Each structure stands twice: as C-alpha cells, then as structure tokens.
Structure 1
Amino acid sequence: MSGISAWLRAILMMIASASLFAVVDGVSKILADDQSVGQIVWARYSFAIPVLFAASPRLAWRDLLRTNELRNQIIRGLIPLVISASMVLAVRHLPLAEATVTLYAGPLLVVALSQPLLNEKVTLPAWIGVGVGFLAVLIVARPGFSDLSTYTVFPIVAALFYALCQIFTRRLGAVGELPQTTLAWTLLIGTLVATPAAAISWQPVSIGTWALMIGLGIVFGLAQTFAIRAFAQAPANRLAPFSYAQVVAATFFGIIVFGAIPDLWTFFGVVLIIGAGAYVMRNRA
C-alpha cells in the first residue's frame, strides 16, 4: 500500500473511532441515570473483549498478550480507564456538549506533546489545523460555561489523559507492537480494574439496560480498535484534527436521542472541522 493510501486509511479509521466514541459517551450518559460509574466502565471493557477476538481470529490470547513493551503496555492500558471514568462522571453531571468540548483540548495537547515525547516534527499547518478544528468545536458545541462547577475538572482530566493515550498508542505502534496486542492489554487491564469497582457499586440492571451495556462494550471495542490502528499508521500530530469528528457525531446523536436540532452555526462549525482536517492532509509532508 502506498504512503498516500495508508494515510487516507488512517484518516478514515480515526474518523470512525472518534464517531464511535461519541456514541459511547452518549450511551454512557443514558446509563449514568441508574447505573454506577463502576458498572458503566466495566461494561465498556468486558463486553469489548468479543470485538478483540473477532478482529484477531488467528491469534490466541497468549499470542495477543506477547509484548516487548510490557511497561508501556501497562501504562497505556491504565490511561483509558481514567478517561472512561472521568467522562462518565462528566456526562452524568454536565451537558454532553460542555463535556465534549472540554475533552477536545486533547488534540491540542497531542500536538504539544508529540514533539517532546515522540520526536515528531510539529509543523505550522498541524498547529493551524488543530487550532481551527478546536475553534470549530466551540462553534458546534457552544458550551455556556456559565454554570461551571467542580465537575468540570473531569473532562479536563480526560483531555489530558486522552492526549497521553494517543501518544503512547503511537509510541507502541512505532516500535512494532501489534494493534491487537495493545488493545488486548487495554481490555485486560481495564476489566481487571473495573470488575471490583463494579461489584462494590452494583445497581439492579434490567433487560433493556443489559442490552445497552453490551452494546456499549461492543462500540467501545470498535472505537479502540480503529484508534489503535490509525495511530500505528500515521503521526499523532497529523491525525489529531480528524478526531474532531466526535463532535459531529455527538451532534447527530443529540438530534436522534435528545432532540437537539442544530442551527446554522453548528453546520458552519462542521464545515470548519472538515476543512481543518483537509488542510492538515494537504500539508502532511
């Protein structure tokens, strides 16, 4: 596969991942009304495991967990746990738009951290693209921030760990770690840590809620798979603007589930998001 086609494939996987993460946060907000944070995080990880097996039909668990980067795999596996717990707490107490836009300080942090942590050159187009993308996020979500509370710290924490997660994903991909191996360690560590937390805080679960929890895990697994594969094929700072697709997906999720109809400013913001990604792509060299 040529460099251009590999780059395009990485972009598509990044967009798919970001969109699926929007669904994950939206479903988490629905579940957060009746279920504990531990239950929701546990569902994300445990029910994502079948996705791993489906994506790796030729590899046994022993092969999936074989790694030369155990320390980095463990660190990378713990990071999404912090993101998951922080975002569940955020969407439980804050409007989805406000939580999402705060989270999207993350791509800016990816650009800022990719040079010192990955030795990747951060170009001016990359900074411009991410900056315009973040402006577009503000236009789409337009969080009021008039009712800031202590809960705002949760998406801020998630944003920091979001950037670290992408940095570690890229680092592992650069040294030849299989995407399936990274995902396996992520799901294993997440399930092991979340299981006792869920058991301690368990709330009654209806049949409909079980269906939502299972679906949540499957979508989470797909989102993780696409993200890991994307960052294994392209520099973190160049893919960062395309992760803003999560805001676009969250907008549509809001229309379908919560009846939030976007206005012209929203559509203008979406155009800016797409334009920011296209600008970075055009200046990728």
Structure 2
Amino acid sequence: MQASSSTSPVSASILMVAAMAILGVIDNVVVLLAETIGLWQFQLTRTLMMLPLIGAMSLIGLGGLRPQRLGAVILRSALVATALMFYFSALALMPIAQALAGLFTSPMFVLLISSLGMGQRIGIWRILAVVVGFVGILCVLQPDPQDFDFNVLLPVAGGFFYALGAVTTRHMCAGESTVVLLGALVIALGLAGSAGLIGLAAFPVEAVNGPAGFVTRGWVWPMSEAIPWVVVQAVGSSLAVFMLIKAYQLGEPSYVSVFEYSVMIFGPLFAWAALGQPVGMMQVVGIALIAMAGSVIALRSG
C-alpha cells in the first residue's frame, strides 16, 4: 500500500490495533453461522452485502475502482480468495487460535518463496525467525503424530496461498488502488461461493449437521438464523479494512504490519470470553512465538 505524504505512527498503530480487534471479534461468528448455512452461501451473501460498502469507499476518496493491470489483479484475487476459503473452513472446525496460527504462517512462506523461488538473500535474523515461527505453529496446532488430523493443515494451506497473494501484490500490483484490490477480492470470494453452490446443486453431498458440515452444505433456506451473523461479518470486515487501509496510509508499512499480530490476542480472547473456547498455556506460548517471528521478519524486511 502506498503511504501518504504525512505520517503519524501513533495514529497508524491505533487504527491497526482497532481493525484487528474488530476482525478478532467478527471472525468468531463464523462458527455460529456455520451451524445453519454453508461456506459457499456465506461467501456469496457476504459479497452482495460488501460490494455497496466498497463502492462507498471509492466515492469518499479511498481509491478508484479501475485496475491498471487486470490480469495481475485477477491472479492476486484468486490466490488470496483461496487462502481465505481455507481460513474460513478452518474457523468452523477448530478454535480461532489454531486457525489464526495457521494463517499467520504467511510471512514465513513469503520469506521462503522470496529466497528459494526468487533468489533473494535473507539474513540470519530472518532465518532464525522462520525457525521460531515454526516452533510456535507446532505449539498452537499441537499435531498428534499417532492420530494426525489433516484439518490442522487447512489454515496452513491458507497461509501458503496468502503468502503467494502477498508476493503477487508486491511485485505485480504495487500501483493498484487498495479499493480495487479489495473489491476484486470480494468479487472473487463471491464467485467462489457461486461456483461451490452450483457444484453442490449438480452433485449433492450429504452434509452433517452443525459446523462440521460447513464446507459440504449447499444452499439453505430460510437463512434467518445466519443472516445477522453474515451482516456482522460484512459490515465488520468493511469497517476493519477501512481502518487497515488508513493505518497503512499513515505509517511505515514494516512498522504498521507488526500490529496486525494483535488479532492473535483479540481473537482467542473473545473466543474464550464469549464462546468458552479454551486457550492452553502451550498455545499462548506458540502465539507469542509466531507474533515475535512475524514481527522480526517484517521489521528486518522493512
């Protein structure tokens, strides 16, 4: 994102922390709407609600709606949309602490992609950060080698695709308006939702009740129980992204990005207080290690 000519690190950090607090709360509602509707219906209905809000962002001057490099924007949107589909699938199947831990592997994947795939040199501090972050991931996900649950790989897959999206954004979409990138992403999620609904209508799959059937559930009607949570997600996401955009406009990106890790505090804390999701000491240690590793990578990269 492009920074504005005037900077205010304090305002930027406050906006970023506020945005992460909102996301930490609203991502918890996914498990509630997953009780009655499916992933694909959720993405389609949320897209229809968010598009007018994104149009309003453009009207108030946050950025234009015309892409400069359409192909690059489409590629970036497809990668990030794939990442978020994995992440939202994980939210319905596991505590938010584990889902966030998997998604926030993305800075480590970015580093590995930049080093191994693009030949960029990285120093010892960032190499150590990757090792520390990997240990943190193991602490949070706590995979059992004797009875391995492949669901724990869902958010990690999300982190990988999010990293690919980040690299694409940096190298192919640097001149694009943030509103263009956001709008294209939301449209991509809506198209994914439509494709999933069409596929499930053509080839029905018997979905189990509750969140476990989130990915395999087709269109459900009426959706009165889920609509309030979808509205919370749509409005909350739009507001949080607005604040996130402003934070990057006001502050140095490598500095501001460190505060994104506050979502790993707000999300599990709200899940514990409102939903009774437990957070063990090992997971707390893992969250701290992931946040520390990501912060080191961000600052050293900056």
User: TM-score by structure 1 length?
Assistant: 0.74
Distance 2:163 2:8 in 1: 23
Shift of 1:187: 1.9
Aligned position for 1:258: 275
Identity of aligned residues (%): 21
Cα deviations by residue, 1:39-87 (Å, 9 ceiling, x for unpaired): 1222343322233133222469xx8332221111001111232123222
CA distances 1:155-206 after superposition (whole Å, capped 9, x unpaired)? 23211111122222333553x2111111122222322342353464211344
For structure 1, which segment, 188-197 or 77-86, has the greater mean C-alpha deviation from structure 2 after superposition? Answer: 188-197
List per-residue Cα deviations over 1:225-283 (Å, max 9, x = no partner).
Answer: 556666787567x7765443232122112122222465666666666666667766776
Question: Which residue is 2:153 aligned to?
Answer: 153
Contact 1:46 1:187 in 2 (8 A): no
Alpha-carbon distance, 1:92 to partner = 2.7
Instruction: Describe the superposition over 1:8-44 as per-residue Cα deviations: whole angstroms up to 9, x where unpaired.
Output: 6666665555544443432112211211111122234
Give deviations 1:192-223, integer Å, cap 9, x for gaps: 34235346421134434211111112223344
User: Quick check: 224-233 or 37-46, which moved more?
Assistant: 224-233
- Structure 2 residue aligned with 1:246: 263
Q: Which moved more, 1:123-132 or 1:106-115?
A: 123-132
Take 1:123 and 1:229, find their aligned partners in 2: how far apart are those partners? 31
- Mapped to 2, the partners of 1:177 and 1:12 lie a distance apart of 25
CA distance in 2, matches of 1:119, 1:14: 32
Do residues 47 (structure 1) and 64 (structure 2) align? no
CA RMSD of aligned residues (A): 4.1
Do the aligned partners of 2:89 and 2:154 also contact (CA within 8 Å) in 1?
A: yes
Q: Is the 8 A contact 2:101 2:137 kept in 1?
A: yes
- Is the 2:58–2:179 contact (alpha carbons within 8 Å) kept by the matching residues of 1? yes
Number of aligned residue pairs: 280
1:82 maps to 2:82: yes
* C-alpha contact 2:82 2:161 (8 A) present in aligned 1: yes
Aligned to 1:73: 73
Counterpart of 1:103 in structure 2 is: 103
Matched with 1:180 is: 179
Instruction: Return 5+ residue gaps in structure 2 as ranges.
Output: 202-217
Match of 1:190 in 2: 189
Partner of 1:64: 64
Equivalents in 2 of 1:116, 1:230: separation in Å?
Answer: 31
CA distance, structure 1, for counterparts of residue 290 and residue 265 of structure 2: 8
Q: Is 1:129–1:279's contact at 8 Å kept on the other side of the alignment?
A: yes
After TM superposition, list the pairs within 5 Å mapping 1:1-285 onto structure 2: 5=7, 15-16=17-18, 18-58=20-60, 64-114=64-114, 122-129=122-129, 132=132, 135=135, 141=140, 143=142, 145=144, 147-172=147-172, 174=174, 176-198=175-197, 200=201, 201-225=218-242, 242-260=259-277, 262=279
Asked if the contact 1:21–1:223 (Cα under 8 Å) also holds between the matched residues in 2, the reply is: yes
- 8 A contact 2:36–2:225 mirrored in 1: no
Paired letter, 1:181 = V
Shift of 1:114: 4.0
Instruction: Tell me whether 275-284 or 50-59 shows the greater mean CA deviation.
Output: 275-284
